[in-house]
Structure 1
Amino acid sequence: MSASKTGIVYDPIFLKHTQPGHPENANRLNAIINNLESNNLLPLLEKVPSRIATIEELCYCHSENYIKRVKEVCLEGGGYLDADTYVTEFSFDAATTAVGSLIDLTNKVCSGSSNNGYALVRPPGHHALTGSGMGFCIFGNAAIAVKAALKNFNVENVAIVDIDVHHGNGTEAMVKDDPNILYISTHQFPYYPGTGGKTKVGSDVAAGTVLNIPLEPGIGDEGFQRIYNELIIPKLEEFNPNIIIVSAGYDAHWNDPLANLNLSLTGYSWISKVLVDLSE
């Protein structure tokens, strides 16, 4: 198997975490899968097996009491973890599979058997906190994956670049004390969840490992290119991570009904190419 392959991980369980009418539902993933299939792209990708994360892995970022509570609510048929974050009877399996699958995809990149990868997983994770769900998110997928990479492989530094229109408050909270993890977020501000001010730069020995870039509405492709050229690219080159995980939210697109950052598909493509090039 050539290391130039792009790995992909996906599991049908992700479609069972869904609620009709809720903005975070299975249609998000179905649209991506259908597009990959209709354009004959799946045969070009290396399929990585999915798996459920262990409790030990979940505890890299979450409390055992919270993990237990999520499982109990799901076993009871589902409910809400907060006003926005639903769970169904399948959500614990979906969320733990999202974590385990991203860990293994990251491991394949760290080991050199895949050059890069795409994790088609849900529920999302960047708002989840150590002891609570939030903003449609249950477990901190990206934060757990980078901590697993640091534990399992001979890597010195890892980075998370969060391109979702919302600030990843949960991810930042989970990694801001670790000097070996760089967290970068571009997000509309002020906007949900109201965090991510530019003065938040990491804590104690990890000072300088958080780069929050709060953005005003309407910044568009040209503004993003300037931000990457002047701030993000130099920061990543200085930190020199062994691996970059991208929290790839697409709600900064100009056609998103709620946000206003006005990125185009061309802009997303440019950002993706920059981050792939920096990771190689």
Structure 2
Amino acid sequence: MATAFITHADCLTHETPPGHPEQIARLVHVLHALEALDLKRVSAPMAAEDDILRIHPASYLADLRRTLPSEGRKELDADTWMSPGTLDAAFRAAGAVVRAVDLVLSGEVRNAFCATRPPGHHAETDTPMGFCLLGNAALAAKHALDHHNLRRVAVVDFDVHHGNGTQDLLWDERRALAISSQQMPLWPGSGHAEEDGAYGNVMNLPLPPESTGATMRNAYTEQAFPRLRAFKPELIILSAGFDAHKDDSLAQLNWETDDFRWLTAELCALAQELCQGRIVSTLEGGYDLNALADAAKAHVEELIKAAT
């Protein structure tokens, strides 16, 4: 079977101010790093509004549409901006994860990687923040649960920043297990171990600044992997942030590219054990362009290995 690679040129039309870390060049570097790999290449569709309404209220979408500038850029908060192409990009990113879930659950591909922007895991129910507008990973989970009638879906977020939006959107969803590892302390300030969801369905793995991949490997081996085995998900969704890399300037974790490779391989092995190898991965952070490209390539290479 194959690995699907889902992207769209519209994701290059979301513009941020000069010097902003969430820049068009991020996706350009990822696309270049993956261009020679053997992937099933799929164009990301626009998400249907009904899909977005699985996680965000209609009033929130209306606010985003009212805010969208016809020219220039609009500041939503100190981190989050909109340009004329932003909503098309965000709807493509959301459509990518919906399409990925459909492809994986139909058996057309074993797993999928969505190379899109803006990222999504900081977007809360009615609040854009942290470069994010729509909660892509949570949407993938809800689509799998509600449209495909799965009983249990897990989301694993290894971005260096806590996936507060995914946690917010899935807090009351007893059919979803949300696991997030993140540097602590660090923006956005959430992600403490005691934040465990309305039904004990959230697991946070705080990691200390300056810790290495060895600390991460221990946390996943001793805590996250046993929890996944106990939950028995029918699909695993990955919020694939690569900003825990030692070369990334927005945080202070010291993972190497091989740590992302190891974590991906272990998650693929767990998916094979628990849910027929079914994984949907979506790009989140990663702001050193070379580190992002290298780590994303290692991640996708492991997805390809697991699919063959």
- TM-score with structure 2 setting the length: 0.85
Counterpart for residue 19 of structure 2:
21
Counterpart check, 1:218 vs 2:213? no
| Partner SS, residue 186 of structure 1 | strand
| Alignment partner of 1:228 out of 209, 214, 220 | 220
Q: Any residues of structure 2 matched to 1:90-129 within 5 Å, and which?
A: 90-129=85-124
Return the offset for 1:111.
Answer: 1.6
| Alignment partner of 2:159 out of 160, 164, 172 | 164
Provide, for residues 199-245 of structure 1, a one-character-per-residue CA deviation record: whole Å limited to 9, x for no partner.
01111xx2x21000111112212111111110011011110111111
Counterpart check, 1:46 vs 2:40? yes
Counterpart for residue 81 of structure 1:
76
Calculate percent identity across the aligned residue pairs: 38
Q: Contact 1:157 / 1:180 at 8 angstroms: preserved in 2?
A: yes
Counterpart for residue 242 of structure 1:
234
Greater mean deviation of Cα atoms: 214-223 or 142-151? 214-223
Q: Contact 1:221 / 1:267 at 8 angstroms: preserved in 2?
A: yes
Q: Distance in 2 between matches of 1:57 and 1:156?
A: 18
| Alignment partner of 1:272 out of 260, 264, 287 | 264
| Partner SS, residue 236 of structure 2 | strand
Q: Distance in 1 between matches of 2:85 and 2:68?
A: 7
Q: Contact 1:17 / 1:94 at 8 angstroms: preserved in 2?
A: yes
Return the offset for 1:75.
Answer: 4.6
Return the offset for 1:258.
Answer: 2.4
Counterpart for residue 173 of structure 2:
178
Unmatched segments (≥5 aa) in structure 2: 273-308
Q: Contact 2:207 / 2:215 at 8 angstroms: preserved in 1?
A: no
Counterpart for residue 57 of structure 1:
51
Q: Contact 1:81 / 1:132 at 8 angstroms: preserved in 2?
A: no
Counterpart for residue 197 of structure 1:
192
Q: Contact 2:93 / 2:116 at 8 angstroms: preserved in 1?
A: yes
- TM-score with structure 1 setting the length: 0.94
Counterpart for residue 61 of structure 2:
67
Provide, for residues 71-127 of structure 1, a one-character-per-residue CA deviation record: whole Å limited to 9, x for no partner.
222253341222210010000111011101111111111121110010001100111
| Partner SS, residue 260 of structure 2 | helix
Unmatched segments (≥5 aa) in structure 1: none
Counterpart check, 1:8 vs 2:5? yes
Tell me which amino acid in the other structure corresponds to 2:158.
I
Return the offset for 1:18.
Answer: 2.1
Q: Contact 1:48 / 1:105 at 8 angstroms: preserved in 2?
A: no
Q: Contact 1:172 / 1:183 at 8 angstroms: preserved in 2?
A: yes
| Partner SS, residue 32 of structure 2 | helix
Greater mean deviation of Cα atoms: 152-161 or 69-78? 69-78
Q: Distance in 2 between matches of 1:18 and 1:244?
A: 31
Larger RCO: Structure 1 or Structure 2 (Cα < 8 Å, ≥ 6 residues apart)?
2
Provide, for residues 142-198 of structure 1, a one-character-per-residue CA deviation record: whole Å limited to 9, x for no partner.
101110111121321101100000001111000011111000010011110000111
